[in-house]
Structure 1
Amino acid sequence: MTSGQIKEIHCASGGPWGGNTINTKIWSLLQGIFGTEVLRTFIAENRDDYLDLVKNIEREKRLDKSNSKYRIGIPGSLLVEVKKSNPDMIAEKYRGKAEIKQNQLRIIPELIQSIFKEGIDTIIGYVEMLLNEPGLSKVKSLLLVGGYASCGLLKDAIQEHFNHLSVICPFEPGLIVLKGAVIMGHMDTPIVGRMAKYHYGIAILDDEQKPNFDGSHTSFSTSQQEFYTIIPKGSPIQVNEVVTEYDFPIEVNQVEAYIQIYASEDKQPPKLISEESCRTIGHIRIKLPRFRRTTKLRIGISNDETEFKVVAREEYTGKCFVGTCRFLD
């Protein structure tokens, strides 16, 4: 947008194809090269050296290169452990593909590329699928951020496949998310609109169903409780605009209004909160004075950049109450 603000045009999505998956595959490769039992003993007996090895793997994975040998620094304690079971250091299956020189494990590019290939191909296929959606047809640039964005294999593959787009990878992409969060904290309204990733809904629980203040629950069935949709999945959400209003009945001497918040990933919103796809993500509590007559609150729920805001207005007096929205860990 010309104002410098951001409007989300597709909800965040993806899968397990990133850096952690690559780490798992690299550790599987090390097990093949050195032996599973050797690595298990090394990890159990040399925790500091193990953490150094983890850092070495992470650093090498992020280096900006794609066609040279990968060199992973190997702690001396691991080399000692390897020699006990295999004086040749490298398992026969990997001889010619990996070698130990100057306390480094040097791996040929083809072997490393095979580790990255499946994940990179999946990422490219998923991005291509997204770009083919009607609402994303005008996208002109791709921005690569996060630690994995430093990987030369990933960057080269993205740039080659999407050569009709401007592919941007900023300096130190691993810090960009943190910097963005800091910038966001200093701007009034950096994000003006989002897309709902889930169906969001609420359920009104009575005094017997809601949790006590100490966190414990009274055991009563909520299996027939209705899922009241407040934000449908995939719908645009304008920041600070009320997304729903709900009339909440209040009994005489009732001290609070309690509302459960639910989410569902299904294509269609659930009808009941007991459905398998429906999960509790938080709750809203509105403290009330003791009304002397039955009344009702009109509850307005809005969304800012990071959370729900709740304001309730009493029917007869027009007095407003601010609700506290708490999300579960």
Structure 2
Amino acid sequence: MKQVHKSGGGAWGGVRVNEKILELIRDMTGQEVMSEFSSNHCNEEYHLRMEIETSKRKVDSPAKLGEENAEEQKFYIRMPQALQRIWRSKCKAYKEVLSANDVKFEAGELYFKSDKIREYFKDTIDGILTTLRDALESSSSIKPGAMIVVGGFAESNYVIESLRESLEDKMIPVLKPDFPEKSVLNGAVLFGQNDEIIKSRIVPHTYGIAMTMEFNSRLHSNEEKYVESDGKEMANNVFRKHVTVGDSVEIGKWITSKEYYITSEETSISRVYVFTSDKKNPIHTTETGSKYIGHLDIEFPDIDEEDTDEISNRKVVQVEFNFCGTLLRVRAVSTCSGKTQTRELQIKYNEMFKEQKE
């Protein structure tokens, strides 16, 4: 398989809907009640979240039910005994609160109007559709034969029917596997057994190396300018691009080899800093959207004073990238005085863009 558009997405999954429903309950009971419940009754809180997940999947679209039946459909959640007890002890007017929110409480269950719950689905579904439309508009060569929906959110009938209704004009059928939640696990297992299933990927970021170069007033930031001892103006933290966001790269192949020249004869170790950027053409590694993801050191051997061959003695580092199944590999090679040294950096994709903690 070949990836034809970079991976993307956002907070548009079922968890976001679950959190909004939980927030609705929190608004009725109060933060103090929910804090005590969460702190002292962890198991029951877990069961409440699972109850929300299960009930959410039963919500149907008005088109499927018919307008009249859709208005009558109720969304109900079994309220844990501990939560009931804490709420009643801290809020004597809980019945008035239920009435004000148009919620019924019968036989230990909260009953909401399904229209209110459908509103929580809308933002999430709109986010999915916006992402899909952006992908289609960004490349005229992308002509999907179908949209395959997987994961827990695909268990929701309302989600599937809403997507089908919205994509009907584009003639894109929406398909759901028999076990959409298990499909994610099955796919991960298959990929783990044979990561060569994917032949090429579209890179989601721009990748490059930090370097210094002669200052260009039309290009570089004045904040990155410095002057060397000989009076030459230089630019620091320049982002030298190796791979551009949106490029198609062949999996497992070393690409974009570029050379970096070390000007100082006294340098014995060169550190190669690897960066990513959200931009297509970043200028500096310090600008917004750029992120440091790792480095590697390459050593230079001592040069024989009797060896006067400038070409063989010049200090050059050759850097290239390799996009593997779950790894980004960066290799630096130096050949100086007839000696070759190689260093390699491996970075897992799932660790590359974690929030860095101080």
The TM-score with structure 1 as length reference comes to 0.80
Relative to structure 1, the CA distance from residue 59 to residue 254 in structure 2 (aligned partners, 3 Å threshold; closer, same or farther) is: farther
User: How big is the shift at 1:185?
Assistant: 1.6
Deviations 1:90-138 (Å, cap 9, x if unpaired)?
A: 522223xx32233222222212112212222332233233223334541
Relative to structure 1, the CA distance from residue 99 to residue 162 in structure 2 (aligned partners, 3 Å threshold; closer, same or farther) is: same
From 57, 61, 70, the counterpart of 2:56: 61
* Identical positions, percent: 23
- Specify the SS of the correspondent of 2:238: coil
Q: Write the distance in 1 (CA, Å) between the matches of 2:252 and 2:294.
A: 19
From 331, 338, 344, the counterpart of 1:323: 344
Q: Write the distance in 2 (CA, Å) between the matches of 1:278 and 1:43.
A: 38
From 276, 279, 294, the counterpart of 1:263: 276
Q: Write the distance in 1 (CA, Å) between the matches of 2:324 and 2:122.
A: 39
Relative to structure 1, the CA distance from residue 64 to residue 118 in structure 2 (aligned partners, 3 Å threshold; closer, same or farther) is: closer
Instruction: For 2:100, give the aligned amino acid.
Output: K
Deviations 1:150-179 (Å, cap 9, x if unpaired)?
A: 222211101122232221222332332232
- Specify the SS of the correspondent of 2:322: strand
Relative to structure 1, the CA distance from residue 100 to residue 189 in structure 2 (aligned partners, 3 Å threshold; closer, same or farther) is: same
Tell me if the contact between 1:254 and 1:291 (Cα under 8 Å) persists in the aligned partners.
no
1:148 paired with 2:129, answer: no
Relative to structure 1, the CA distance from residue 19 to residue 188 in structure 2 (aligned partners, 3 Å threshold; closer, same or farther) is: closer
Relative to structure 1, the CA distance from residue 64 to residue 319 in structure 2 (aligned partners, 3 Å threshold; closer, same or farther) is: farther
User: How big is the shift at 1:259?
Assistant: 1.6
From 110, 114, 133, the counterpart of 1:128: 133
Relative to its length, the structure with more helix (as a share) is 2
Structural mapping, 1:194-233, within 5 Å: 194-204=201-211, 224-233=236-245
- Specify the SS of the correspondent of 1:132: helix
Q: Write the distance in 2 (CA, Å) between the matches of 1:147 and 1:118.
A: 17
1:240 paired with 2:245, answer: no
Deviations 1:283-314 (Å, cap 9, x if unpaired)?
A: 2345x574545443433322222223344444
From 152, 171, 176, the counterpart of 2:183: 176
Tell me if the contact between 1:239 and 1:302 (Cα under 8 Å) persists in the aligned partners.
yes
Q: Write the distance in 1 (CA, Å) between the matches of 2:287 and 2:122.
A: 38
Relative to structure 1, the CA distance from residue 55 to residue 255 in structure 2 (aligned partners, 3 Å threshold; closer, same or farther) is: farther
Q: Write the distance in 2 (CA, Å) between the matches of 1:319 and 1:224.
A: 28
Q: Write the distance in 2 (CA, Å) between the matches of 1:89 and 1:175.
A: 43
Tell me if the contact between 1:120 and 1:154 (Cα under 8 Å) persists in the aligned partners.
yes
Match of 1:162 in 2: 167
From 6, 9, 12, the counterpart of 1:11: 6
Match of 2:228 in 1: none
Q: Write the distance in 1 (CA, Å) between the matches of 2:319 and 2:79.
A: 60
Q: Write the distance in 2 (CA, Å) between the matches of 1:91 and 1:323.
A: 62
Relative to structure 1, the CA distance from residue 55 to residue 256 in structure 2 (aligned partners, 3 Å threshold; closer, same or farther) is: farther
User: How big is the shift at 1:231?
Assistant: 0.6
User: How big is the shift at 1:78?
Assistant: 1.0
- Specify the SS of the correspondent of 2:291: strand
The unaligned stretches of length 5 or more in structure 2 are 62-69, 213-233, 305-312
Q: Write the distance in 2 (CA, Å) between the matches of 1:264 and 1:289.
A: 30
Relative to structure 1, the CA distance from residue 186 to residue 34 in structure 2 (aligned partners, 3 Å threshold; closer, same or farther) is: same
- Please report the RMSD computed on the Cα atoms of aligned residues, expressed in angstroms: 3.0
The alignment of Structure 1 onto Structure 2 pairs a total of residues equal to 304
> Which of 39-48 and 112-121 deviates more?
39-48
Tell me if the contact between 1:223 and 1:272 (Cα under 8 Å) persists in the aligned partners.
no
User: How big is the shift at 1:26?
Assistant: 0.8
Instruction: For 2:126, give the aligned amino acid.
Output: D
User: How big is the shift at 1:262?
Assistant: 1.0
Tell me if the contact between 1:285 and 1:324 (Cα under 8 Å) persists in the aligned partners.
no
> Which of 175-184 and 253-262 deviates more?
253-262
Relative to structure 1, the CA distance from residue 70 to residue 289 in structure 2 (aligned partners, 3 Å threshold; closer, same or farther) is: same
Instruction: For 1:13, give the aligned amino acid.
Output: G
The TM-score with structure 2 as length reference comes to 0.74
